[in-house]
């Protein structure tokens, strides 16, 4: 990932101060901004083109959330844990195009999941706790507009 960026709420480039023109289509993922929100509905041929906030974050390598998964349980149940993580993303992304996993990578003693939205990071942590029990910690950093989620069992 690129170096950390620090923004306050007014400076966060991923929280647009004004909505894009309607309709706007993302040339990368083909999500469409219509009726005040991003969706997977197809846009008209004369659609304005602009990267959606999720694709912009992916391009910039600048996550809105991190989920760190650690513990002995991970070693024996990695596939089950990844199924919960990927299943949560699949369900959320189907309705909310801006909620995506950017990357899943191995880190010291565990896994790190980077997300395009803080809600999906929190949702992944809650899905892990609900499906597999364990300890869940969620920490919001307003200075960085970032959420850090830690799940361990």
Which tens digits make up the pLDDT trace of 30-70? 999 999 999 999 999 999 999 999 999 999 999 999 999 99
Q: State the pTM of this model.
A: 0.88
CA distances from 111 to 66, 67, 90, 116, 122 (A): 10, 8, 19, 17, 15
Domain boundaries, the chain: 65-152
Note the pLDDT tens digit of each residue in 18-28. Answer: 789 999 999 99
Average pLDDT in the chain: 91
Quick one: which H or E segment has residue 109?
none
Residues 6+ apart with CB under 8 A from 9: 15, 142, 145
Radius of gyration of the chain (CA): 16
């Amino acid at each position: 990932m690129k170096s950390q960026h620090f923004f306050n709420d007014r400076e966060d480039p991923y929280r647009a101060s004004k909505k894009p023109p309607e309709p706007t289509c993302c040339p990368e993922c083909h999500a469409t901004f219509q009726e005040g929100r991003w969706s997977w509905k197809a846009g008209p041929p004369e659609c304005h083109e602009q990267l959606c906030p999720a694709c912009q974050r992916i391009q910039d390598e600048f996550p809105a959330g991190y989920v760190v998964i650690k513990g002995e349980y991970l070693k024996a149940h990695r596939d089950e844990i990844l199924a919960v993580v990927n299943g949560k993303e699949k369900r959320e992304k189907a309705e909310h195009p801006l909620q995506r996993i950017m990357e899943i990578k191995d880190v010291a003693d565990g896994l790190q999941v980077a997300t395009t939205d803080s809600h999906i990071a929190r949702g992944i942590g809650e899905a892990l706790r609900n499906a597999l029990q364990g300890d869940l910690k969620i920490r919001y950093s307003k200075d960085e507009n970032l959420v850090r989620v830690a799940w361990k069992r």
